[in-house]
Structure 1
Amino acid sequence: MKKLMLAAIAATAFGAAAPAMAEVVVVVNAKAAESTMTKEQVAQFFLGKSTAMTPIDQSESSPIRAEFYKKVADKDAAQAKALWSKLVFTGKATMPKEAGDNAGVKAALAANPKAIGYIDKSAVDATVKVVYTAQ
């Protein structure tokens, strides 16, 4: 019985120590025409392959940014930054605007109906429309 209790306590401790992965959703202005997008469409905006929408990144140190690029673009944040640096250097694009957090992304989307960003699902409210859930 004692071993079983210790095993349960250890399992709980290890479970609590594991980092919680955010559920990342891609959002647009609530009044935007877009209602759904594919992973490929979203990746095009955030990798500089399409200029139809303006990408809004979260801060470079944000864990959600790394999670987003891993799940949507199959790249780590450093690879995405290197790609953007090349596009900027060759004059083909300008770096995405950067918002500090979920609230900053929502404010940027409210100010620009052609913007697209990503936030934690828990931050979704009536000011934004979810067009893709990263998995």
Structure 2
Amino acid sequence: MRLHLRLFAGIVLLLAAGASAAGELVVVVSAHNASPALRPDQVAAIFLGQSARFPDGAEAHALDQPVGSALREQFYQRVSGKTEAMLKAYWSKMVFTGRGQPPRDAPDSIAVRKAVADNPALIGYIDRDALDASVRPVLLLH
């Protein structure tokens, strides 16, 4: 019986460790971008089209993950509290009233990282495992 309990406890710990590591998102800018660390509300303002500038005044353009991806859902839930359905309604209204266009999206974290690394005006979010020296993290989302 003790062996079963230890085995069960070990499996639970492994699953919990894997779930927490898989859920870490990093908001990144180019390594050549001098923008300081950002707060979630500042990141949300850029991604929701409410701001086109980094806090230091430099131009900012958001780059999204694909619609329906788990990273995208996690990101928007964490920085803005919006679900995918809420985002769709938000952008429909913004586009219809002429107040904005949603960010363009890239196919995955690697594509986001490469595009952001090449353009200091871009900001994106990636899985922490895709992070390298070509980009600089400005916000970690657990």
Report if TM-score (shorter chain) is over 0.5. yes
**Cα distance in 2 between the residues matched to 1:7 and 1:29:** 48
Look up the match of 2:68. 61
Q: Does structure 1 residue 50 correspond to structure 2 residue 51?
A: yes
Q: Deviations over 1:82-124 (max 9, x none)?
A: 2122111211111211011111101221343211100111211
**Cα distance in 2 between the residues matched to 1:125 and 1:37:** 19
Query: 2:75 aligns to what SS in structure 1?
Result: helix
Q: Output the TM-score relative to the length of structure 1.
A: 0.86
Look up the match of 1:30. 31
Whether the aligned pair in 1 keeps the contact of 2:66 and 2:107 (CA below 8 Å) is: yes
Q: Deviations over 1:21-73 (max 9, x none)?
A: 42111001110120211111001011221122111111123211111111111
**Cα distance in 1 between the residues matched to 2:118 and 2:97:** 28
Query: 2:34 aligns to what SS in structure 1?
Result: coil
The amino acid across from 1:51 in the alignment is A
- Number of equivalences: 133
Structure 1 stretches lacking a partner, 5+ long: none
C-alpha RMSD of the superposition: 1.9
Q: Counterparts in 2 of 1:55-94, with a 5 A limit?
A: 55-94=62-101
Whether the aligned pair in 1 keeps the contact of 2:68 and 2:84 (CA below 8 Å) is: no
Look up the match of 1:112. 119
**Cα distance in 2 between the residues matched to 1:117 and 1:46:** 9
Deviation, 1:78, is 2.3
The one of 3, 6, 9 aligned to 2:7: 9
The amino acid across from 2:31 in the alignment is A
**Cα distance in 2 between the residues matched to 1:34 and 1:17:** 36
